[in-house]
Structure 1
Amino acid sequence: MSGHVIDAFFTVTDEKEGLRIGYAVQGGRIARWDWTGKRMYDVDAVPLAQRWPQLPEAFRQGIDAALTTQADNPWTWVFRGPQCLMLNPLDGSVAQVSTIAARFPGLPAAFAQGIDAALPAPGVGAGVNEVYFFSGSQCVRYDLRVPAPVEVKTIAQVWTGLTAKAPEFAHGLGAATVDPGTGKCYLFRGGDYTEGTLADTTIRENAAAVGNAAWPGLLPAFTRGHVIIWADGRPVALDLETGQSEQVPTGVLAGAPVTSPDGRYLYLTYNDRFSCYDMATAQVRWHSTRVTDGRRAVFSRDGGRMYFVSKSTWKLNVVDPAGPDLVAEIGLHDYDGTREGEANDLDGDGPATRSTPPDEAQENGQPLSEFLPGWQDAPPVALSPDGAMAYVGFHFRRLGDDIYRILEVDLEQRKVLQTFHLPDAGAPLDVAIDAGGRIAHVAQERGTCAIDLYTGAIAWQDVLPPCRAMKLTPDGGELWCLPAADRGGVLVAASDGHTVLRRISLGAGNGLGTGLDLEFNHFGTYAFVLLGPGGVAVVDVAARRTTVNHYVSFPYLGPRFAYTTY
Structure 2
Amino acid sequence: MSGHVIDAFFTVTDEKEGLRIGYAVQGGRIARWDWTGKRMYDVDAVPLAQRWPQLPEAFRQGIDAALTTQADNPWTWVFRGPQCLMLNPLDGSVAQVSTIAARFPGLPAAFAQGIDAALPAPGVGAGVNEVYFFSGSQCVRYDLRVPAPVEVKTIAQVWTGLTAKAPEFAHGLGAATVDPGTGKCYLFRGGDYTEGTLADTTIRENAAAVGNAAWPGLLPAFTRGHVIIWADGRPVALDLETGQSEQVPTGVLAGAPVTSPDGRYLYLTYNDRFSCYDMATAQVRWHSTRVTDGRRAVFSRDGGRMYFVSKSTWKLNVVDPAGPDLVAEIGLHDYDGTREGEANDLDGDGPATRSTPPDEAQENGQPLSEFLPGWQDAPPVALSPDGAMAYVGFHFRRLGDDIYRILEVDLEQRKVLQTFHLLDAGAPLDVAIDAGGRIAHVAQERGTCAIDLYTGAIAWQDVLPPCRAMKLTPDGGELWCLPAADRGGVLVAASDGHTVLRRISLGAGNGLGTGLDLEFNHFGTYAFVLLGPGGVAVVDVAARRTTVNHYVSFPYLGPRFAYTTY
CA contact (8 A) 2:337 2:420 kept: no
Kept after mapping to 2: 8 A contact 1:330/1:342:
no
Deviations 1:122-160 (A, max 9, x none): 011111100000000000000000000000000000000
In the other structure, the counterpart of 1:282 is: 282
**Distance 1:282-1:313 versus aligned 2 partners, 3 A rule:** same
Q: Tell me how far 1:338 sits from its aligned partner.
A: 19
- Residues 128-527 of structure 1 mapped to structure 2, 5 A cutoff: 128-333=128-333, 371-372=371-372, 374-527=374-527
Cα contact 1:329–1:343 (8 A) shared by 2: no
Contact 1:358 1:418 in 2 (8 A): no
**Distance across 2 between alignment mates of 1:218 and 1:203:** 22
Say if 1:227 and 1:562, in contact at 8 Å, map to a contact too.
yes
What secondary structure, in the 3-state scheme, does the structure 2 residue paired with 1:286 have? strand
CA gap 1:105/1:345 in 2 versus in 1, 3 angstroms: closer
Post-superposition CA distance 1:143-187 (Å, at most 9, x none):
000000000000000000000000000000000000000000000
Equivalent pair of 1:355/1:417 in contact (CA under 8 Å): no
TM-fit CA distance, 1:366: 7.5
**Counterparts of 2:178 and 2:169, CA distance in 1:** 17
Question: Deviation per CA, 1:294-331, whole angstroms, max 9, x where unpaired?
Answer: 00000000000000000111000000000000010000
How far apart are residue 396 of structure 1 and its match?
Answer: 1.4
SS in 2 for 1:409: strand
Tell me if the contact between 1:229 and 1:561 (Cα under 8 Å) persists in the aligned partners.
Answer: yes
For residues 72-97 of structure 1, what are the alpha-carbon distances to aligned partners after superposition, in whole Å with 9 as ceiling and x for unaligned? 00000000000000000000000000
Compared CA separation, residues 365 and 546, structure 1 to 2 (3 A): closer
d(CA) in 1 for partners of 2:283, 2:429: 33
The answer as to whether partners of 1:186 and 1:194 remain within 8 angstroms in 2 is: yes
Give, in angstroms, the shift of residue 398 of structure 1.
1.0
**Structure 2: gaps (5+ residues):** none
Relative distance call for 1:327 and 1:344 in structure 2 (3 A) is farther
SS where residue 128 of structure 1 aligns?
Answer: helix
- The structure-2 alpha-carbon separation of the partners of 1:196 and 1:521, relative to structure 1 and needing over 3 Å to count, comes to same
Aligned partner of 2:547 in structure 1 is 547
RMSD after superposition: 5.5
Distance verdict in 2 for CA 1:349–1:292, change over 3 Å? farther
| SS in structure 1 of the partner of residue 419 of structure 2 | strand
| TM-superposition CA deviations, 1:379-407 (whole Å, max 9, x none) | 00000000000000000111111110000
Q: Distance in 2 between matches of 1:365 and 1:266?
A: 36
3-state SS of the aligned residue for 1:361?
helix
Check 1:14–1:204 CA distance in 2 against 1; reply closer, same or farther (3 A cut): same
CA contact (8 A) 1:342 1:355 kept: no
Q: TM-score, normalised by structure 2?
A: 0.95
Following TM superposition, where does structure 1 have runs of at least 4 consecutive aligned residues deviating by more than 4 angstroms? 333-371
SS state at 1:342 partner: coil
Distance 1:350 1:370, change over 3 A: farther
| Cα distance in 2 for residues equivalent to 1:464 and 1:339 | 26
Q: Equivalent residue of 1:308, what SS?
A: strand
- Given that residues 343 and 354 in structure 1 are in contact (C-alpha distance below 8 angstroms), is that contact kept between their aligned partners in structure 2? no
SS in 2 for 1:412: coil
* In structure 2, C-alpha distance between the alignment counterparts of 1:118 and 1:368, rounded to whole Å: 61
- SS where residue 59 of structure 1 aligns? helix
- The more displaced of 340-349 and 546-555 is 340-349
Aligned positions, number: 566
Q: Whole-Å Cα distance in 1 between the matches of residues 517 and 171 of structure 2?
A: 49
**Structure 1 residues 34 and 335: CA distance shift in structure 2, 3 A:** same
Kept in 2: contact 1:340–1:357 (CA 8 A): no
Structure 1: runs of 5+ lacking an equivalent:
none
Q: Cα gap change, 1:359/1:286 in structure 2, threshold over 3 Å: closer, same or farther?
A: closer
Change (3 A) 1:523 1:354: closer
In 1, Cα distance between the equivalents of 2:556 and 2:260? Answer: 24
Q: Could you report, residue by residue, the CA deviation over 1:374-431 in whole angstroms, capped at 9, with x for unpaired residues?
A: 3100000000000000000000111111110000000000000000000000000000
Instruction: Note closer, same or farther for the CA distance 1:211–1:351 as it changes in structure 2 (3 Å cut).
Output: farther
Judge conservation of contact 1:333–1:341 (CA < 8 Å) in 2.
Answer: no
* Conserved 8 A contact 1:3-1:190: yes
Change (3 A) 1:157 1:345: farther
> Is the 1:226–1:565 Cα contact (8 Å) retained in structure 2?
yes
Secondary structure of the residue aligned to 1:213 is coil
Check whether the contact 1:311–1:373 (CA below 8 A) recurs between aligned residues.
no
Residues 469 and 483, structure 1, Cα contact 8 Å, conserved in 2: yes
Distance in structure 2 (CA, Å) of the matches to 1:140 and 1:183: 20
SS state at 1:517 partner: strand
Conserved 8 A contact 2:8-2:25 = yes
Structure 1 pair 562/371, CA: closer, same or farther in 2 (3 Å)?
A: closer
Preserved contact between residue 315 and residue 330 of structure 2 (Cα < 8 Å): yes
User: Per the alignment, do residues 402 and 362 of structure 1 end up closer, same or farther by CA in structure 2, a change over 3 Å counting?
Assistant: farther
SS of 2:53's equivalent in the other structure is coil
Q: Is the 1:46–1:523 Cα contact (8 Å) retained in structure 2?
A: yes
Query: Structure 2: how far apart are the matches of 1:79 and 1:416?
Result: 55
CA distance in 1, matches of 2:90, 2:233: 46
1:496-533 per-residue CA deviation (whole Å, 9 max, x = no partner) reads 00000000000000000000000000000000000000
Q: Aligned partners of 2:398 and 2:554: how far apart in 1?
A: 42
Checking the alignment, whether the CA contact within 8 Å between 2:235 and 2:257 is kept in structure 1 is yes
Q: CA deviation at 1:343?
A: 30
Counterpart CA distance in 2 for 1:560 and 1:256 is 6
Quote the Cα distance in structure 2 between the aligned partners of 1:68 and 1:14.
12
Closer/same/farther in 2, CA of residues 506 and 401 from structure 1, 3 Å limit: same
SS at match of 1:394: strand
- Identity rate of aligned residues, in percent? 100
Offset at residue 372 of structure 1 (A): 2.5
The CA distance in 2 between the partners of 1:291 and 1:113, in whole Å, is 59
Change (3 A) 1:38 1:364: closer
Structure 1 contact 258–295 (Cα < 8 Å) conserved: yes
Distance between the aligned counterparts of 2:396 and 2:404, measured in 1? 6
Give 1:41's aligned residue: 41
Deviation of 1:333 after TM superposition, in Å, equals: 4.2
Q: CA–CA distance in 2 between the matches of 1:150 and 1:338?
A: 74
Separation of aligned partners in 1, 2:211 and 2:305? 26
Say which SS state the counterpart of residue 363 (structure 1) adopts. helix
1:274-312 per-residue CA deviation (whole Å, 9 max, x = no partner) reads: 000000000000000110000000000000000000011
Q: Is residue 346–residue 452 contact of structure 2 (8 Å, CA) maintained in 1?
A: no
Shift of 1:40: 0.3
Give the TM-score, by structure 1 length: 0.95
Asked if structure 2 preserves the Cα contact closer than 8 Å seen for 1:358 and 1:419, the reply is no
- 3-state SS in 2 of match to 1:102: helix
Cα deviation, residue 441, structure 1: 0.1
**For residues 275 and 368 of structure 1, do their structure 2 counterparts lie closer, same or farther at Cα, with a shift above 3 Å needed?**
closer
3-state secondary structure, aligned to 1:49? helix
State whether residues 195 and 205 of structure 2, in contact with CA within 8 Å, keep that contact through their aligned partners in structure 1: yes
User: What is the rounded CA distance, in whole Å, between the counterparts of 1:508 and 1:338 in structure 2?
Assistant: 46
Kindly provide the CA deviation profile for residues 35-67 of structure 1, in whole angstroms up to 9, marking residues without a partner as x. 000000000000000000000000000000000
Does structure 1 conserve the Cα–Cα contact (< 8 Å) formed by 2:332 and 2:367?
Answer: no
Per-residue deviation, residues 449-485 of structure 1 (Å, max 9, x unmatched): 0000000000000000000000000000000000000
Q: Contact between 1:530 and 1:537, CA under 8 Å: does it hold in 2?
A: yes
Contact 2:123–2:199 (CA<8 Å) still a contact in 1? yes
Task: Evaluate the alpha carbon distance shift between residue 340 and residue 461 of structure 1 in structure 2; reply closer, same or farther with a 3 A threshold.
Answer: closer
Quote the Cα distance in structure 1 between the aligned partners of 2:164 and 2:341: 67
CA contact (8 A) 1:425 1:447 kept: yes
CA contact (8 A) 1:64 1:114 kept: yes
Change (3 A) 1:144 1:6: same
CA contact (8 A) 1:395 1:402 kept: yes
Partner SS, residue 371 of structure 1: coil
| Distance verdict in 2 for CA 1:339–1:325, change over 3 Å | farther
1:430, 1:468 within 8 Å by CA — same for their partners in 2?
yes
